[in-house]
Amino acid sequence: MKMQGLSLETIPPIHIPFRFFLTAPWMGIVAGLALLLGSDQAFSSQWTPELRAVTHLLTLGFMAMVMLGAMFQLVPVISGHLIPGGTKVAGLVHVLLSVGVLLLVAGFYWQAYALMGWAALLLLLAFAVFLLALATLLRHRIGGDSIFSIRFAALALLTTVGLGLWLSASYAGLTTPPALANKATVHMAWGIGGWVLLLVMGASYQVIPMFHVTPSYPSLLARGLPTTVFVSLLTLTLVQLPEVQALAVLAFCAAAMTYAIFSIHLLGQRKRKLADITARFWRLSLVCLLLSALLATGLYFTDDPLPSPGIRHQLQVVLGTLMIYGFAISVIMGMLQKIVPFLSYLHLQRSCLSNFALLKTLPHMGEIIPASRSRWQFNLHIAALLTLLAGITTDQATTPAAILVTADFAWLSFSLISATALYHNTAQRITSSGG
């Protein structure tokens, strides 16, 4: 084991993760408003301009924004090494990602494809800087099961971003599109099925046993699942033989289902019996993953019998909604309810080092984001998810869905801003009393 430069006090300054966490809900609010102001036909297929804009606001603007912020926080703590470049690198990635997403989304929404070249450039820089910083950390340790899965996630992100950049450059007329069958589907599969699923897997190996006091994931399963996911995606991308493709789809869906079922089973064994909103968000998320895997298998293997292509398109949108809003966003919202209060407390505690008496005056986690506020988040989120699903089948639900999505993210934003304000007020009080 390499111990040089190893330091256990490596926690990054709080403004690094928080700038990502505080920006992310605004992207969700914009997504809700885009749905509200868009046409009623937004959900008719996954290729409508509104839906492409909304999808990228949610995946890049919200999900990637939070995930990158969390990685800037988590990886130094797990590996014992600070990210090279520190605050400057994180600040740069944050600005590039924020502006890049907005340009990309504007390009989709108004079909102003010239913007997409600029978007591609900014996003390329954002992810390149992030992945380089991450790569220097990931090579430090051979690491546990979490890092094993996160490495695959980083490779999947690289593939997703690579394909996405190529696609947006071809929209902008800068290049020809990649010579791949179903290139947009491949891009989505690597993004949602690769980067998001693998990162959630890697994170869950740490946080489910830790936060909820459950048994650990067995190592064989913890490594076998991400390997299966990655190899199936690679096979789907590179091998065009129908039999091999079918096998890869089956293997991928089986891995996703096994992961979901096993995780639900673990949560059922948790030693902490308290009602816990984060655990409820996890369950919701895993159930959506399970339904998505079933639906994806169904869609792949029932090519012809479906009555009309319209229904097929709708089911694909249902699949996307289940994976993005049901699986990924649920788990992220659940984690934020714990991570933000905990990081606030951790940093406040560090500032009391020279005056231990002040520790007793710190707000505990239940005061930073009150349980009642988290419960509202869960209720709003599940209502938004259900009306979104209803909105895909009936146009009447589109407006309520858009309003609920906006409310869901607005509530998150309110919770996070209140938590940050409490943090700053307490930090000031500590400074003025000589902490």
Partner 1 sequence: MTTISAFMQDNHRQCDELYAAAEEAVANQEWERADKLWQAFADQLEVHITEREEGRLFPALEAAGGPGNPVRMMRMEHEQIRALVAQMVDALAAREQQQFLGLGETLLLLTQQHNMKEENILYPIMDQYIADQLAHLP
Q: Is 272 in the site for partner 1 (CB under 8 A)?
A: yes
Q: How far is the CB of 259 from partner 1 (least distance, A)?
A: 22
- Given candidates 179, 243, 274, 354, which one binds partner 1 under the rule CB under 8 A? 274
Binding region for partner 1 (CB under 8 A) out of 5-13, 21-29, 182-190, 245-253:
5-13
Q: SS3 for 28?
A: helix
430 binds partner 1 (CB under 8 A): no
Residue from the set 112, 359, 417, 421 that interacts with partner 1 by CB under 8 A: 359
Length in residues, the chain: 435
Which one, 240 or 355, has the nearer CB to partner 1? 355
Nearer Cβ to partner 1 (112/359): 359
Output the smallest distance, CB 324 to partner 1, in A: 28
Radius of gyration of the chain (CA): 21
Separation of alpha carbons 352 and 411, rounded Å? 31
If the CB atoms of residues 178 and 370 are measured against partner 1, the closer one turns out to be 370
Q: For the beta carbon of residue 425, count every other beta carbon within 10 angstroms.
A: 11
- Min dist CB 151 to partner 1, Å, is 16
Helices 197-212 + 277-301 axis angle, to 10: 150
Which alpha helices (DSSP H) does 351-397 contain, by range?
365-368, 371-393
Choose which of 37, 132, 210, 238 interacts with partner 1 (CB under 8 A). 210
Contacts of 292 (CB under 8 A, 6+ apart): 256, 319, 322, 323, 326, 327
Asked whether position 47 contacts partner 1 by CB under 8 A, the answer is: no
Q: In what helix (H) or strand (E) does residue 206 lie, and over which residues does it extend?
A: helix 197-212
Nearer to partner 1, 8 or 220 (CB): 8
Site for partner 1, residues 360 to 379, rule: CB under 8 A: 360, 364-367
- Give the per-residue contact string, 53-92, with partner 1 (x = CB under 8 A; - = no): ------------------------xx-x------------
User: Residues in contact with partner 1, total (CB under 8 A)?
Assistant: 32
CB of 308 to partner 1, least distance (A): 51
Residue 7 interacts with partner 1 (CB under 8 A): yes or no: yes
**Dihedral of the CA atoms 63, 64, 66, 68 (nearest 10)?**
160
Nearer to partner 1, 176 or 360 (CB): 360
Query: From CA 129, how far away is CA 135, in angstroms rounded?
Result: 10
CB proximity list for 370: less than 8 A, separation 6 or greater: none
Backbone angles phi, psi at 77, to 5 degrees: -70, -45
Distance, C-alpha 56 to centroid of its chain: 12
- Distance, in Å, from the CA atom of 431 to the CA atom of 121, rounded to the nearest integer, reads 42
Positions in the binding site for partner 1 (CB under 8 A): 1, 3, 6-9, 77-78, 80, 144, 206, 210-211, 213, 271-274, 338, 341-342, 345-346, 349, 353, 356, 359-360, 364-367
